[in-house]
């Protein structure tokens, strides 16, 4: 099968492209910088460029779409242009080129409205109530993708939840950096129970969705390790792997949410050089339960995670040169 993978310069995109190559498929990657994945053909460009998207989708059997603007802050128009407009461009080009399969890589945040998620399956994407521009635009894009599902273009959405592992510059690097600087509090003592997924498992789950799209198209699936743990325990695992002190101080979640809202407003006026230290969405993520029923996902995709969280922490420690 000839597969186009967008966004393969990021941690998850690289892992997905490598997984699909290992399965014996011919892979082309499409992103703004080289993927660094062995065995693929890199094409540089952006999903916002209509002509480039039209060219790269020629002679392709399937598309796995990961390219997105991922951030806690930024110009809302940028999120719309990349996440919604880019997906619209790919869907139109895929339809015109006769592409048969389309895997849209989404996020559980598309259905998170601030309340706890306790053992739910994949809830409907809800852009109206999604928290923040990333979640809002990913929800809009997922709805566009699933609306395009048809006998000729079979579409499935997969939502890996809090992907982490060696080389992660998003979750892991920021947790370690803030813990090292003493700027990583627990919210409500870090008691909220949440799901995450190790990078290898996320990649294999997305590859499984590609292989099963003929059967599961039209549906959305959440991918997790199926091992929900308290936030404090997960942060301690990451910090321990990196050899830094785990957060030991706590603030009330309601105060963090209020502070996050204020920081978001200030960031719009005068953005900092990095992500804001707190947003309302981040405070909600760190203080509300969000873990998912994986029975339908595993049965439909015929998939199960191969790397446990504890083994993931061991591999993460190894990447930091720790025993």
pLDDT tens sequence across 219-274: 999 999 999 999 999 999 999 999 999 988 787 767 756 755 665 566 566 665 56
- The residues, ordered by sequence, that sit 6+ positions from 65 with a Cβ below 8 Å of its Cβ are 6, 7, 47, 87, 90, 102, 103, 104, 105, 145
In whole angstroms, what is the distance from residue 183 CA to residue 178 CA?
5
pLDDT at res. 116: 83
> Look-up: residue for tokens 């969705």?
209
> Of the listed 134, 198, 221, 320, which one is catalytic?
134
pLDDT class of 149 with cuts at 50, 70, 90: very high
In whole angstroms, what is the distance from residue 58 CA to residue 160 CA?
28
pLDDT at res. 132: 85
Q: Does residue 64 surpass a pLDDT of 80?
A: yes
CB neighbour burial string for 161-181, b if at least 16 within 10 angstroms, e if fewer: bbbbbbebebbbebbbebbee
Strands 229-230 and 193-194, by their bridges, are: antiparallel
pLDDT at res. 260: 58
pLDDT at res. 276: 63
Active site residue 134: yes
Q: Does residue 278 surpass a pLDDT of 60?
A: no
Q: Which residue has the higher pLDDT, 184 or 148?
A: 148
**Mean pLDDT across the stretch 276-297?**
77
The answer to which of 138-142, 289-293, 312-316 has the lowest mean pLDDT is 289-293
pLDDT at res. 181: 87
Judge contact between 140 and 127, C-beta under 8 A.
yes
For the segment 259-273, what is each residue's pLDDT rounded down to a tens digit? 556 655 665 666 655
In the predicted model, what is the mean pLDDT of the chain? 90
Q: What percent of the chain is modeled with pLDDT above 70? A: 89
Containing 27, the helix (H) or strand (E) segment is strand 26-31
In whole angstroms, what is the distance from residue 159 CA to residue 166 CA?
20
Extract the tokens encoding 311.
């083994």
pLDDT at res. 252: 79
Q: Is 302 left (phi over 0), alpha (psi -120 to 50) or beta?
A: left
Taking the alpha carbons of 194, 195, 199, 203 in that order, is the dihedral positive or negative? negative
pLDDT class of 75 with cuts at 50, 70, 90: confident
pLDDT at res. 125: 94
For the segment 118-134, what is each residue's pLDDT rounded down to a tens digit? 899 999 999 999 888 99
pLDDT at res. 114: 73
Q: Which domains does the chain have, with CATH numbers?
A: 2-164+196-224+293-306 (3.40.50.720)
Q: What are phi and psi for residue 261, nearest 5 degrees?
A: -65, -40
The answer to which of 34-38, 65-69, 185-189 has the lowest mean pLDDT is 185-189
Q: What percent of the chain is modeled with pLDDT above 90? A: 71
């Amino acid at each position: 099968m000839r597969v186009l993978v967008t966004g393969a310069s990021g941690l998850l995109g690289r892992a997905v492209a490598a997984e699909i190559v290992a399965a014996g498929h011919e892979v082309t990657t499409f992103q703004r910088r080289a993927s660094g994945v062995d065995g693929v053909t890199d094409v540089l460009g952006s999903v916002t460029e209509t002509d480039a998207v039209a060219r790269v989708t020629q002679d392709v059997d399937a598309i796995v779409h990961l390219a997105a603007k991922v951030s806690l802050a930024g110009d809302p128009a940028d999120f719309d242009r990349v996440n919604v407009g880019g997906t619209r461009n790919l869907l139109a080009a895929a339809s015109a080129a006769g592409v048969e399969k389309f895997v849209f890589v989404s996020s559980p945040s598309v259905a998170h409205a601030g309340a706890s998620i306790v053992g739910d399956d994949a809830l409907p994407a809800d852009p109206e109530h999604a928290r923040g521009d990333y979640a809002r635009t990913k929800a809009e894009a997922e709805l566009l993708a699933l609306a395009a599902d048809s006998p000729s273009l079979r579409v499935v959405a997969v939502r890996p939840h809090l992907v982490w592992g060696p080389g992660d510059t998003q979750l892991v690097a920021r947790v370690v950096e803030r813990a090292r600087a003493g700027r990583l509090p627990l919210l409500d003592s870090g008691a909220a129970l949440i799901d995450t997924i190790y990078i290898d498992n996320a990649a294999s789950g997305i590859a499984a969705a590609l292989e099963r799209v003929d059967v599961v198209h039209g549906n959305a699936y959440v991918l997790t390790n199926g091992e929900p743990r308290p936030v404090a325990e997960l942060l301690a695992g990451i910090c321990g792997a990196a050899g830094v002190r785990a957060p030991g101080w706590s603030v009330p979640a309601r105060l963090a949410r209020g502070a996050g809202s204020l920081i978001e407003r200030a960031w719009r006026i005068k953005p900092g050089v990095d992500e804001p230290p707190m947003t309302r969405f981040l405070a909600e993520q760190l203080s509300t339960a969000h873990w998912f029923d994986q029975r339908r996902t595993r049965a439909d995709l015929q998939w199960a995670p191969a790397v446990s969280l504890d083994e993931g922490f061991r591999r993460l420690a190894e990447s930091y040169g720790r025993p």
